[in-house]
A and B are shown apart, each in its own frame.
Chain A
Amino acid sequence: MIADLLLAAAILAVAVASILARRTFTAVALFIAYGLLLSLAWVRLSAIDVALTEAAIGAGLSGVLLLGAVRRLASRAEAPANPPPGAAMTVLIGIACACVAAALGAVILLLPEPAPSLAPQVAANLPTTGLGNPVTGVLMSFRALDTLLESAVVLLAVICVWSLTPDGGWGGAPGAAQPILGDGPLLLLARILPPLGIVVAVHILWVGKDAPGGKFQAAAILAAMWLLPWMAGLVAPPRIAARWLRLTVAVGPVVFIAIGLAGAVTEGAFLAYPPGWAMPLILVIEIVLTASIAVALALLVIGPPVPEP
């Protein structure tokens, strides 16, 4: 109980400090710490799947993206800031925000106790899927449509990032050229970690059917194992015009949609799995999606191609 209170206080303190920080680098560092503390909170709430995702995506990949943004901002001239609102406006905004926060706090305390939950229904229906992890059951069977569409959103995000390519860069290798390191901890990590990380990712993907884990977490780790050697200057990313690269990003959602349509034909409902086939089909989707999402996440962090100077 005391540990939980300390954790909650630490989360709030880090969040406030991140907002108040004067330097962008400090703010980003605190934000990463905030993500890690948040994932601890999820662990305390017994939501291990959420904790894994929060740590991998919320703190890890978002952190790398934000650090990259800090580096780019440092090399630019100071942008003209909008004039701050006047004193009366500041007070008004403060009062309005306080009212919204108080109302949210009040209704959360008023929520019914025990909270209405679908957990018993999930548990009752989980055996038909052949899975042991209820979270995977929700993501891949009961609410499989949301997962399918989110995987399409990840692909759309790649198109989004590539559409921001500056003139003259189209078709080339994504991301700014990384400095070649002669020596140092990053180079060492980039050489040692990937084999270990890949094994961990495969493990997390495989246990996802029965225990916390699954494709998003595995894909985030795999993406990191690609990004490390890239940041250390050991590997160059493929050109965005490469057909195999685009196919890899697309194959996961395509397979998912194809299996969904097959369910519509044979079972009469989109994303219905034939009896006895649920588990193997879900495994196929998870494996292919892991590859697609891992490549997509890495491409999102690396960014659009930069024209040769």
Chain B
Amino acid sequence: MDWGLLPVLAVMLPVLAMVLALPLGARGAERMTLAVLPIGLALAVGIAVVVQRTGAPIWHQLGHWAPPLGIAFRADGLSAAMLVTTAMVVAATAIFARAEFGTPPGAAERRQAFAFWPLLLAIWAGINLLLVANDLFTLYVGLELLTFAAMPLVCLDGSRATLEAALRYLMFALLGSVLYLLGVALIYGATGTLDIVLLSQRVTGQPAVVLAIAVMTAGLLAKTALLPLHLWLPPAHAGAPAAGSAILSALVIKGSFILVLRLWFGVMAGQPMPGAAQILAGLGAAAILLGSVAALGQARLKLLVAYSTVAQIGYLFLMFPLLAAVPEASEVAARAWTGGVVQAVSHAFAKAAMFLAAGIMAARFGHDRIADIGGAGRAMPVTLLTFGLAGLSLMGVPPSGGFAAKWLLLSAAIGAGQWWWALVILGGGLLTGGYVYRVLAAGLRAGEKSTMAPAPLAWSRDGVALGLALISVVLGFLPLAAFGLLQVGRLDLAP
């Protein structure tokens, strides 16, 4: 049985839905989005099952043209795990967003409602493309989809502050695109192909390719917001509507991160770069510590959650020097790889839950000043519980998904003889505990009920946020054997 069409459909379904959203209008687009969510989720789960069962990546050659002339799709274990994560987070935020961006029958189309649904679908399409495309230029198109959909999401409310944040985000993102494209041209000039699998065989450390990887990595770090290129992230992620913040923080930055992984452990599979990997992880460590300290000092809840994203991005880059230091097939390498990917997955669920919970609180109070959220524990216990559960996963408290990720990274760091990263992981966990505690303590204080909006918002919003937080915790219960899926198709393992 040929399963090759599954990844194609996983990409084309949201693309087609986004295109149709324009003539359908706000109400039609909303209903269509809700209709395609289960199909997209089924496709993602199907891909994961096939990859796990066969133990090999799913291939598809578009139009039967083999690379290097044509383009191939390749869904490996990493793709499968992230596809399922993406489909679930997109589905949850779509349900959450209905209260804000829904259009009741007979109501006139509103600007925000018109834009939100196609933007959400475009982000879904862009991430799925980044996960399964195996061609560096096709991946660039995925980056474009992601950038042009994420930017308007930031300034959907149209205020001056969010427009400025969106413009600053656009500048960073376009700089990243230009640098990436420059690298694509250099790599094609040096090797005559853009197919990642072919490149992993052809790259022998040509200076043009090494320089290309350097500028592309720099560009992608600007999009991923790794410190010191994070300056755009806090105002952008804090200014977007809650559903938008959840998608931006949970998924959009992961798209460019996965592409860094593809470059370092796909294109450069045979060429480990331990020195550069130490620098990358050094930036990650700085992000963990400085981002967490900045989060501790924030007065506003959404900015605190946004700085927490700056910090959690740092963990993703700790896997690079660990993988570069040990043999590819070793147990330590497998742990580092799995730890990094599980961090991406568990952070996606936890951060989406946290932003949605923060959005519910901000809507209820009419503000998001942490000092003034007293009474939240009594008035909206589920929301505060959601925030706390997501916080446990971010801290890395057992048995959460965040614990599994951080434990794997920590033990890999010890195994690779790089104990200093273990200290960073432990320190980051303590700081994370600090800022999560700040919010919970403020929320559990007695407060005046009169300052709150009386009408409770739709219960489904609390349910969705709690569901995401629970998933981020339950991930820790998955037996580690299940993560064998993540090793399937690692290009640095290929003979």
Residues of A at the B interface (CB closer than 8 Å) are 100, 103-104, 106-108, 110-112, 115-118, 121-122, 125, 141-146, 149-150, 152-153, 155-160, 162-167, 170-171, 241, 243, 246-247, 249-250, 253-254, 257, 260-261, 263-264, 267-273
Do the beta carbons of A145 and B22 come within 8 Å of each other?
A: no
- 21 pairs, CB–CB < 8 Å, chain A vs chain B: A107-B190, A111-B208, A116-B192, A125-B69, A141-B65, A144-B62, A145-B138, A146-B137, A149-B145, A152-B18, A156-B145, A157-B148, A159-B118, A162-B111, A164-B155, A166-B158, A167-B158, A170-B110, A257-B12, A269-B61, A272-B64
Chain B residue nearest to A110 (CB atoms) is: B207
Which residues of chain A are near B49, meaning CB under 8 Å? none
Contacts of B158 in A (CB 8 A): 164, 166-167
Question: B148 near A163 (CB under 8 angstroms)?
Answer: no
User: With the chains together, A121 CA to B148 CA distance in Å?
Assistant: 34
B8 x A264 contact (CB < 8 A): yes
Q: A111-B189, A246-B22, A270-B62 are in contact. Are A171 and B12 (CB under 8 A)?
A: no
Contact of A142 among B8, B70, B208 (CB under 8 A): B70
Q: Closest A-chain residue to B141, C-beta based?
A: A149
Are A162 and B8 within 8 A (Cβ)? no
Least CB distance from A135 to B in Å reads 14
CA distance A38 to B205 in the complex (A): 32
In the complex, are the beta carbons of B8 and A163 less than 8 A apart?
A: no
Q: Which of B363-377 contact A (CB under 8 A)?
A: none
A260 engages B207 (CB within 8 Å): no
Closest 6 A/B residue pairs (Cβ): A116-B192, A163-B115, A107-B208, A163-B152, A246-B23, A271-B63
B243 CB to nearest A CB, Å: 15
Cα distance A273–B65 in the bound complex, in angstroms: 11
Minimum CB–CB distance from B1 to chain A (whole Å) comes to: 12
Most buried by B among A117, A121, A163: A163
Closest partner residue, chain B, to A304 (CB atom)? B111
Contact B145 A153 (CB under 8 A): yes
| A121 near B2: Cβ-Cβ < 8 Å | no
Contact B207 A153 (CB under 8 A): no
**Cα separation A257 to B193 with both chains bound (whole Å):** 26
Please name the residue on chain A nearest to B166 by beta carbon: A164
Closest to B191 in A: A116
Question: Quick check: A149 and B118 within 8 Å, CB to CB?
Answer: no
Least CB separation from B4: chain A residue: A269
CB nearest to B16 among chain A residues: A257
Q: Contacts A116-B191, A121-B69: A163 and B119 contacting too (C-beta < 8 A)? A: yes
Q: Which of B122-145 contact A (CB under 8 A)?
A: 122, 125, 129, 137-138, 141-142, 144-145
A159-B118, A270-B12 in contact; A145/B20 too (CB < 8 A)? no
Taking A122-B69, A270-B5 as contacts, is the C-beta distance between A149 and B138 under 8 angstroms?
A: yes
CA of A243 to CA of B276, assembled, Å:
53
Q: Which chain B residue has the least Cβ–Cβ distance from A150?
A: B141
Judged by a CB distance under 8 angstroms, whether B156 is at the interface is: yes
In Å, the complex CA distance between A1 and B193 comes to 30
The interface centre, meaning the residue of B62, B191, B193 with most chain A CB atoms within 10 A of its CB, is B62
| Closest A residue to B65 using CB positions | A142
Distance (whole angstroms) from the CB of B64 to the closest CB of chain A = 5
**Are A143 and B189 in touch, CB under 8 angstroms?**
no
> In the docked arrangement, what's the CA distance between A79 and B151, Å?
22
Query: B262: CB under 8 A from chain A?
Result: no
Q: Which B residues from 1 to 24 make CB contacts under 8 A with A?
A: 2, 4-5, 8, 12, 15-16, 18-23
CB 8 Å contact bits of B14-40 with A (1 = contact, 0 = none): 011011111101000000000000000
